[in-house]
Structure 1
Amino acid sequence: MRPSISRIALILMGTILAAFGVVTPPATAQPAPPGPDLLGVSQSGTTPVNPVTGAPSAEASKIPPATSGALIVNLSSCSESDLQAAIGAVATVGGTVNLRRGCTYTLTDAAPPNDDNGLPVIKNKVTINGRGDTITRAATAANFRFFEIDGPDGNLTLNALTLSNGHASSSLGNGRGGAIWLSGAGAVLTLNNTSLTTNTADTYGGAIDNDNGVMSVNRSTLYNNGALAGGAMFVNPFGGSGTATIDKSRITGNHATVLAGGIAAAVGTTVTLTSTRVTHNNVTRNNAQGGGIAQAGTMTLKNSKVIGNTATGNTAQGGGIYSLAGTVKLTTNSLVTGNTTNGTNSRGGGVFNTGSGTVALTRSSVTKNQALGTGADGGGIFRASGTVTRIASPVFGNQPNNCGNPSTVPGCS
């Protein structure tokens, strides 16, 4: 169930994001409309239609405890072949793999016949229990990610594990999800106390690309991953849904070249961050958008921090958060601080809102952000269009001004 890219032709379209050619989605998903920008918003600037009705919640999709009759495989070695065989034993029938404590499993080749996956494709309910273990791709190996999770029944839980140095290549596969790719409706991923680090994707989702699936990230870290768009993760509905809940986790030090150094979420997606830090991510290119977050769906931040992210390049927009459509809600003492846009005519050091987007701040602060460079404006918040509302949410100490000169945000000077 691997989509193929019919072309990868980057087109910069004014203030709208770079666009790709048609990508054929998995059989379980509907094709994306032709010519959308990376977040699924029409280049015409018209208000997008959200196709999601009754998107499943991540909480309802968590894996129930394994039954006593489920297959259990205990690994006694740290070898690549034993790991591939163990996961292969449960990948299609379901079960649990318990790794040997403290192993580093170094993969030198993809699991045949999956030339872009280092491990067998997950098509049933599988739990992999690490105990401080690492799965990594050898530096000399061909490019591959680690896991593909196929809907409608693929359901993977990773516990206490590190995945590092995966590379999703567009020359060998679809270039999506440097470590993990959720492919199609029904695909489910749960990360508990897990780290995804130094993974890369040629297109979307340096660590994770979620296409029409459900993911839950708990007490986990996505660090130093990179992609064209969505340096840490990309959430994409492919005409269906696409949900992510991120709890008590860190999205830090990730990077993208066009869009969203940290998290990218397209039209029709639902993303919730609770007690989570999105820090020191970056996007670097002219027209760069969303150093920390770029979104066009429904995103809620609860008691979460967006700190020290950067968008660098001429007309860079949204050092912390770039909002193109849908709604971003910041609640319960969330904070946007120390973020930067840098380049000629850069806008929105903390938050940039455009298109039909809505940014709603409730008891949250936007402080000490910067828009730098000739003609820069809106160090805290810049509203090009759309709606920005604030309830008990101070905006102060931003440079060169809080909300543009003249202010583009009602009630903000």
Structure 2
Amino acid sequence: MRLSISRIAPILMGLILAALGVVTPPATAQAATPGPDLLGVSQSATAPTSPVLGTPSAKASRTTRATSRALIVNVTSCKESDLQAAIGAVATVGGTVNLRRGCTYTLTDAAPPNDDNGLPVIKNKVTINGRGDTITRAATAANFRFFEIDGTNGNLTLNDLTLSKGHASTSLGNGRGGAIWLNGSGAALKLNNTSLTTNTADTFGGAIDNDNGTVSVNRSTLRNNRASSGGAVFVNPFGGSGKVTFDRTRITGNHATNLAGGIAAAVGTTVTLISTRVTDNDVSGTNARGGGIAQAGKMTLKKSEVIGNAITGNNAQGGGIYNLSGTVKLTKSPVTGNTTNGTNSRGGGIFNTASGTVALTRSPVTKNRALGTGATGGGIFNASGTVTRIASPVARNRPNNCGSPSTVPGCS
């Protein structure tokens, strides 16, 4: 079925470390919702449902009504109301939305009754084809993310599209996923040639919060997003197995105030980076962790780069990568030019905890810095965990390569 739409009426740091067994959060910090998740923060209430926001006119919908075909909706304008109506038409039943080339869709209000989503909740298999289009939140609008993907059957693919200035707020919702929130097992997201820029989450995942779903990011960019934890992406299994794969993607210039300027991944998650750059992300604040990456699950980097990430604040750990109790494998993936800066900072390039494992294969750790009074381990700081190196030099780091005394075999 093919439709054209042109004139349709619009019908926190202690909590994070507690999750990883570092500190116990005060009772007052616990969210007042049922059942704490692995991070010590409760899962939000059941996601609100979303009605179809508009119904194509009889003229616009004059087409073959073959039930075996997925619905196809062509948006022929750049209007907010037409975009919301088109996505509303497929959100529950599934289908494809083709946007008009080069449009900027500026959202001024959330999609009722979903006060923290700018567009209808995705509950089926939906593809949105942009052609250099942008969906953005108006500067004067209330705070909302763009997409929530339902964990039962929600499956969203975005092609050649930009999402900018979304804001997932705790005042209206759970503050997760500044642009996109995957809400539970079964939720799936694929980004192709898509940019998520200048989005904000008050809690987790400045661009994407993946709670027990599956994400694939291909030839895309996550830039200048912001959150308390996971400036670009937060991955949480919620007792399941949250998964993310990045392929030929840039994760750059994102910011967090507690944990992981770029990617944060909790216990039980699986994250893979292939030919992907994690660059110039940062975290600021006392006891901050992971300027580029902080993870406690299973992470693999292949032909990827962790470059120029930074932490500023006392007791900063892991300017490039902070590995807590998980496993990180790097192959042909340099860790270069990352920084921790503050009193007792550790691991300018990599910080590995006592129960963590880091395996480096042809992955040099160079020109990283741990700065400030009492700083050490400019390249790698290993807190009695396991670090192995194959053809992976640790060199030209400041104030030393692997701390003093070093617990990294063959590195001083």
- TM-score band (shorter)? 0.7 to 0.9
Deviations 1:364-394 (A, max 9, x none): 1100000001110000000113211111111
**Secondary structure in structure 1 of the residue aligned to 2:72:** strand
Structure 1 counterpart of 2:134, one-letter code: T
Q: Which residue pairs with 2:381 in the alignment? A: 382
TM-score, normalised to structure 2, is: 0.87
Which aligned pairs between 1:268-279 and structure 2 lie closer than 5 A? 268-279=268-279
Q: CA deviation at 1:408?
A: 2.4
Q: Closer, same or farther in 2 for the Cα pair 1:196/1:17, shift >3 Å?
A: farther
Q: Which residue pairs with 2:248 in the alignment? A: 248
Identity rate, percent: 80
Structure 2 counterpart of 1:100, one-letter code: R
Larger radius of gyration: 2
Structure 2 counterpart of 1:32, one-letter code: D
Q: CA deviation at 1:32?
A: 2.1
Which aligned pairs between 1:280-359 and structure 2 lie closer than 5 A? 280-331=280-331, 333-359=332-358
Q: CA deviation at 1:152?
A: 1.5
State the distance in 2 between where 1:279 and 1:119 align.
Answer: 31
Q: CA deviation at 1:400?
A: 0.4
Q: Which residue pairs with 2:395 in the alignment? A: 396
When the two structures are aligned, how many residues end up with a matched partner?
Answer: 372
Structure 1 gap segments, 5+ residues each: 1-7, 38-66
Q: Which residue pairs with 1:4 in the alignment? A: none
Q: Which residue pairs with 1:141 in the alignment? A: 141
Which aligned pairs between 1:94-173 and structure 2 lie closer than 5 A? 94-173=94-173
Deviations 1:50-93 (A, max 9, x none): xxxxxxxxxxxxxxxxx971100000000000000000000000
State the distance in 2 between where 1:186 and 1:180 align.
Answer: 15
State the distance in 2 between where 1:98 and 1:369 align.
Answer: 46
Which aligned pairs between 1:48-59 and structure 2 lie closer than 5 A? none
Deviations 1:210-250 (A, max 9, x none): 00000000000000000000000000000111000000000
Structure 2 counterpart of 1:293, one-letter code: I
State the distance in 2 between where 1:308 and 1:280 align.
Answer: 5
Q: Closer, same or farther in 2 for the Cα pair 1:18/1:222, shift >3 Å?
A: farther
Query: RMSD value over aligned CA atoms?
Result: 2.0
Q: Closer, same or farther in 2 for the Cα pair 1:18/1:368, shift >3 Å?
A: farther
Deviations 1:118-141 (A, max 9, x none): 000000000000000000000000
Q: CA deviation at 1:163?
A: 0.1
Q: Which residue pairs with 1:21 in the alignment? A: 30
Q: Closer, same or farther in 2 for the Cα pair 1:18/1:294, shift >3 Å?
A: farther
Q: Which residue pairs with 1:192 in the alignment? A: 192
Contact 1:18 1:258 in 2 (8 A): no
Q: CA deviation at 1:35?
A: 4.3
Contact 2:38 2:238 in 1 (8 A): no
Structure 1 counterpart of 2:187, one-letter code: A
Q: Which moved more, 1:94-103 or 1:353-362?
A: 353-362
Q: Closer, same or farther in 2 for the Cα pair 1:301/1:316, shift >3 Å?
A: same
State the distance in 2 between where 1:362 and 1:199 align.
Answer: 35
**Secondary structure in structure 2 of the residue aligned to 1:16:** coil
State the distance in 1 between where 2:15 and 2:272 align.
Answer: 30
Q: CA deviation at 1:363?
A: 1.3
TM-score, normalised to structure 1, is: 0.87
Q: Closer, same or farther in 2 for the Cα pair 1:108/1:68, shift >3 Å?
A: same
State the distance in 2 between where 1:214 and 1:148 align.
Answer: 14
**Secondary structure in structure 2 of the residue aligned to 1:90:** helix
Report 1 or 2 for greater relative contact order, CA contacts < 8 Å, sequence distance ≥ 6.
1
